[in-house]
Structure 1
Amino acid sequence: MAKIKPQALLLQSKKKKGPSGISVPTIILYGLIVAVMVFFLFATYRHWSRRSMIQTQDDLSSTEGESTFIEHKRSDVNGPTYASITTSKGLITVELYKDGSPDIVEEFVDFCQKGHFKGMRFNRVIKHFVIHGSKVDKPEGTEDWTSRGKHYSRLDTSLKHEAFMLGTSKTNHEGGGFDLFITTAPIPDLNDKINVFGRVIKGEDIVQEIEEVDTDDHYRPKTPVQINEVTLKYST
């Protein structure tokens, strides 16, 4: 058997050994792959997290919206509790008697929503009696009220109604629409003439200011005083 020379053995042992290490380009390639995978996983996680958060907020907003809608519908069902009457002299706030005069209040609300009271003038102002707003000018109707009013001071002091009550005529509202009376003094037997459906709770001084305007022989203000707007308010 032939002997192998030492140099040949050395060459064979070098051939059998594997690579001494991983090259730099390979390390860079693997690093890039890992970085891309990590970035992809992070982006996916972030996407689904934001989507879940948005969905939760939408659910909460929807619930709050439904709650607000329900509360608004409740208010609509119950009807307004107050009305703000903006006049050329100032603001008068009235409380509506929804329980005592539901039909009249409902009619009043309907006329408010139609804008009936915008521009309505107080065409009769009788001191220590009433101020009367209407779109129909009928002097004979108020003359009867005045003749009755002259005797009220001699009647029983246990009056049925107080000052600053809000009412409307018992006559048919067709044609002239819905008129308004605000008393400026206690008037007995008020229900003989008008339906009371509220009372002034703020702005009594404005009512008194209107009461003090100069009038002609038919109790018509010499300087026009009118209602600019009526705003309905719901109790909270």
Structure 2
Amino acid sequence: MNKHLIPLIAIVAFACTSSPKEAKRYDVGQIITPQGEMLFWLYDDTPTHKASFIKLANESYWDSLSFNRVIENFVIQGGCPDTPEGFSDSPYLLDPEIKPTHNHVYGAVGAGRDGNPEKLSAGCQFYIVHRKDGIPRLDGDYTIFGQVFKGLDVLNKIATMDTDSLDAPLERVPLDVNIIKMTEEELRQSGFEPGTQP
């Protein structure tokens, strides 16, 4: 055999046996409740809020908490300790990342805050917009860091539950919050196109 062919054969053999490039996977927020599962895209242009959500989800921070504020045609909200003064117990505050391209549309995921003038977000508190035509009066005042793309029926089930005078559901809605990895193909099959705003 021609001695010059041996290295070429080895290269071809290696190329044939090496595994194909693994598909890129994206971080996706997952919220599991007794009413079902919601999946939402985490925006790259709100990196502090995205990183904070991933951190707390991976630490199972929310898994003993609930959606403790539910207002039909407005928002479902939770994440901070289940008390009326829950915001004060946030583990930390986040600088605002308010973007004109991220508005309070149906299924938008935002960071809760009190009335502080710096518009600092509570690290643990989040809400999901339930109003079908959005809540434009909140645009520019709160950080929107994600968008639900699967489970809007679950959002509706929770938002229409019976509540008490403090807007707390009469039936507790516990949270199981995770970060899952999805490929572009898996995202498309779930109704979301990576790189676009739903």
Structure-1-length-normalised TM-score: 0.54
SS at structure 1 position matched to 2:170:
coil
SS at structure 2 position matched to 1:234:
strand
2:55 matched to 1:107?
no
| Structure with the larger helix share | 1
- Tell me, in whole angstroms, the C-alpha distance in 1 between the residues paired with 2:173 and 2:135: 23
1:54-203, aligned counterparts within 5 Å?
A: 63-64=18-19, 71=22, 75=25, 80-98=26-44, 100-139=45-84, 160-170=103-113, 171=120, 173=122, 177-185=123-131, 186-203=134-151
| Structure with the larger strand share | 2
- Tell me, in whole angstroms, the C-alpha distance in 2 between the residues paired with 1:140 and 1:193: 20
Equivalent position amino acid for 1:106 in 2:
A
Structure-2-length-normalised TM-score: 0.64
CA shift for structure 1 position 63: 4.0
Which residue in the other structure is 1:9 paired with? none
- Tell me, in whole angstroms, the C-alpha distance in 2 between the residues paired with 1:193 and 1:101: 14
Q: Confirm or deny: 8 A CA contact 1:164 1:184 kept in the other structure.
A: yes
* 1:30-69 CA-partner distances (Å, limit 9, x unpaired): xxxxxxxxxxxxxxxxxxxxxxxxxx9xx679843xx66x
Q: Confirm or deny: 8 A CA contact 2:69 2:169 kept in the other structure.
A: yes
Which sections of structure 1, spanning at least 5 residues, go unmatched?
A: 1-55, 143-159
CA shift for structure 1 position 199: 0.9
- Tell me, in whole angstroms, the C-alpha distance in 1 between the residues paired with 2:54 and 2:17: 31
2:157 matched to 1:214?
no
- Tell me, in whole angstroms, the C-alpha distance in 2 between the residues paired with 1:204 and 1:140: 28
* 1:49-94 CA-partner distances (Å, limit 9, x unpaired): xxxxxxx9xx679843xx66xx48x65xxxx342221112101111
Q: In percent, how many aligned pairs have the same letter?
A: 28
Q: Note closer, same or farther for the CA distance 1:131–1:63 as it changes in structure 2 (3 Å cut).
A: same
- Tell me, in whole angstroms, the C-alpha distance in 2 between the residues paired with 1:192 and 1:227: 28
RMSD between superposed Cα atoms in Å = 2.9
SS at structure 1 position matched to 2:30:
strand
Q: Note closer, same or farther for the CA distance 1:168–1:60 as it changes in structure 2 (3 Å cut).
A: same
CA shift for structure 1 position 232: 1.9
- Tell me, in whole angstroms, the C-alpha distance in 1 between the residues paired with 2:34 and 2:183: 26
CA shift for structure 1 position 136: 2.3
- Tell me, in whole angstroms, the C-alpha distance in 1 between the residues paired with 2:104 and 2:177: 27
SS at structure 1 position matched to 2:61:
coil
Q: Note closer, same or farther for the CA distance 1:62–1:202 as it changes in structure 2 (3 Å cut).
A: same
CA shift for structure 1 position 141: 8.5
Which residue in the other structure is 1:12 paired with? none
State which structure, 1 or 2, has the greater radius of gyration over its C-alpha atoms: 1
Which sections of structure 2, spanning at least 5 residues, go unmatched?
A: 1-10, 88-102, 114-119, 185-198
* 1:190-218 CA-partner distances (Å, limit 9, x unpaired): 24543111111111111010011111100
